[in-house]
């Protein structure tokens, strides 16, 4: 079951990453003047994910996460298939929007199922293995997409994703997941926002996501514009980051022992120091590439802890809660691009790193306050 959910995350995540490296090929194939225009499809995809995560993901609380995932995979399959056959940019945008709607339902359902199948005391370990799917999408999505597009055309990239996800859908449809608590009433973003502890937990998601995307979104521009490197060399950065992200699964058992709040305090504090240290090598390609490994490991731990923390809040509203998680994470992509642009234009990537260090300190402060409050209320519980 864990492997199945991991592969789901890998194939779903790959779609959100492959468009950037093959944008030039897609533009040429659709007779679009600028490759940057193709990225409009990525924007539509992001909007679809955010809206779906807010308003459709809560459906899983009534019908069950397994049923919601099957419905979501059908929407993603339709969107990917339409992307492979798109005759123009408008159709591609619409197809990616439909895929985004499916992803907005699928990811919360997958995270909910990961919480359901996890053994007591091994929740973080299980969630960490499922999240390793992002490593598959990151390394495979960025590295293989450009290679496949060059040899067989960009449409083959989406065709292969469709084929792979079709196989996964067949397995998911026949799978049997354990029974889990369902809500007797309709849930929504508003009902989820009333869950005790939800706002501080979402703040940690926002701090982690914004701090990451604020650097990652401008990393490619920094490499080509400031360091004079080729676009293809950005793939090495992603490879090292993905390797660190995957290797951090070895540390997941530690997360089960320390609890989410104490773990987030340690991870955010370390991240703030790590971001500050990264500023010393922002002009050194080799040093920056090696730092990607540690960054990937820390992001894995932070993502695991934030998702696990949210999944524990209210099992009867897990779909709505995890939908808020996905919506906030995708909001951080947009927010980071806007917030960090003045910093990047004024002081380069180093200023972005300092800004991320500040956000990590805010995340650490929130985790410390939440830990102290939880310790007073439940002295014996892992926090």
The model's pLDDT over 237-246, given as tens digits with 9 standing for 90+, comes to: 888 888 898 8
Q: What pLDDT score does 75 carry?
A: 96
Q: Are 113 and 177 in contact (CB under 8 A)?
A: yes
Of 58, 62, 57, nearest to 75 (Cα)?
Answer: 57
- Residue 98 has a pLDDT of 96
Determine contact, residues 14/68, Cβ cutoff 8 Å: no
CATH code of 2-182, in short, is 1.20.1250.20
76 pLDDT above the threshold of 70: yes
pTM, two decimal places: 0.81
Residue spans of beta strands (DSSP E) within 75-116: none
Q: Are 339 and 210 in contact (CB under 8 A)?
A: yes
For residue 180, the model assigns a pLDDT of: 59
Question: Is the Cα dihedral 136, 142, 147, 148 positive or negative?
Answer: positive
Beta carbons within 10 angstroms of residue 80's beta carbon: 28
In the chain the beta strands, taken as DSSP E runs, fall at none
Contact in structure between 187 and 311 (CB atoms under 8 Å): no
pLDDT of 24 reads: 76
What gap in Å lies between CA 187 and CA 135, rounded to an integer?
32
Q: Where are the domains of the chain?
A: 2-182, 191-377
Q: Is the pLDDT of residue 78 over 90?
A: yes
Minimal CA–CA distance to 13: which of 137, 119, 171? 137
Same fold flag, 2-182 and 191-377: yes
The reply to whether CATH 1.10.760.10 applies to domain 191-377 is: no
Q: What percent of the chain has pLDDT over 70?
A: 93
Alpha-carbon gap, residue 220 to 154, rounded angstroms: 21
40 — phi, psi (to 5°)? Answer: -60, -30
Residues comprising the chain, all counted: 383
C-alpha Rg value of the chain to the nearest Å: 20
The CA distance from 121 to 70, in Å, is: 28
Q: Which of 208, 207, 201, 165 shows the shortest CA–CA distance to 9?
A: 165
What is the average pLDDT across 241-267? 88
Nearest residue to 353 (alpha-carbon basis) of 297, 272, 287: 272
Span 283-322, pLDDT tens digits: 999 999 999 999 999 999 999 999 889 988 888 888 888 8
For the chain, the average pLDDT equals 86
Closest to 322 (Cα-Cα) out of 119, 110, 29: 110
Count of C-beta atoms within a 10 Å radius of residue 221? 13
CA distance 355 to 295: 15
Alpha-carbon torsion 93, 98, 101, 102, what sign? negative
- Per-residue pLDDT, averaged over 334-352, amounts to 87
Of 262, 281, 241, 288, residue with least CA distance to 372 = 262
What is the number of other CB atoms lying within 10 angstroms of the CB of residue 365? 14
**Model confidence over 55-75: pLDDT tens digits?**
888 888 888 889 999 999 999
């Amino acid at each position: 079951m864990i492997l199945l959910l991991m592969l789901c995350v890998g194939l779903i995540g790959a779609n959100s990453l492959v468009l950037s490296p093959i944008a030039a090929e897609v533009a040429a194939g659709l007779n679009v003047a600028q490759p940057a225009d193709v990225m409009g499809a990525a924007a539509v995809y992001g909007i679809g994910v955010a809206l779906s995560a807010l308003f459709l993901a809560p459906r899983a609380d009534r019908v069950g996460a397994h049923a919601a995932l099957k419905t979501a995979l059908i929407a993603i399959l339709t969107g990917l298939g339409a992307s492979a056959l798109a005759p123009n940019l408008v159709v591609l945008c619409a197809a990616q929007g439909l895929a985004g709607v499916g992803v907005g339902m699928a990811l919360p359902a997958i995270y909910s199922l990961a919480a359901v199948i996890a053994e007591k005391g091994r929740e973080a370990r299980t969630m960490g293995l499922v999240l390793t799917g992002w490593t598959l999408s990151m390394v495979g999505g960025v590295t293989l997409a450009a290679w496949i597009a060059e040899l067989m055309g960009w449409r083959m990239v989406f065709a292969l994703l469709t084929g792979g996800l079709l196989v996964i859908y067949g397995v998911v449809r026949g799978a049997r997941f354990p029974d889990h608590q369902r809500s007797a009433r309709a849930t929504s973003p508003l009902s989820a926002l009333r869950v005790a502890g939800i706002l501080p937990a979402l703040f940690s998601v926002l701090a982690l996501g914004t701090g990451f995307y604020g650097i990652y979104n401008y990393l490619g521009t920094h490499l080509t514009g400031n360091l004079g490197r080729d676009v293809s060399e950005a793939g090495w950065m992603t490879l090292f980051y993905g390797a660190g992200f995957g290797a951090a699964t070895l540390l997941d058992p530690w997360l089960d022992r320390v609890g989410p709040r104490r773990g987030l305090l340690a991870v955010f504090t370390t991240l703030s120091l790590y971001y500050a240290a990264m500023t010393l090598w922002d002009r050194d390609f080799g040093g920056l590439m090696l730092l990607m490994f540690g960054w990937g490991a820390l992001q894995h731990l932070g993502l695991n802890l934030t998702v696990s923390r949210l999944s524990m809040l209210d099992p009867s509203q897990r779909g709505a809660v995890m939908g808020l998680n996905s919506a906030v994470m995708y909001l951080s992509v947009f927010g980071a691009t806007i917030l960090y642009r003045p910093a990047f234009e004024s002081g380069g990537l180093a200023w972005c790193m300092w800004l991320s260090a500040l956000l990590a300190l805010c995340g650490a402060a929130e985790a410390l306050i939440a830990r102290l409050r939880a310790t007073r209320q439940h002295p014996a519980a892992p926090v």
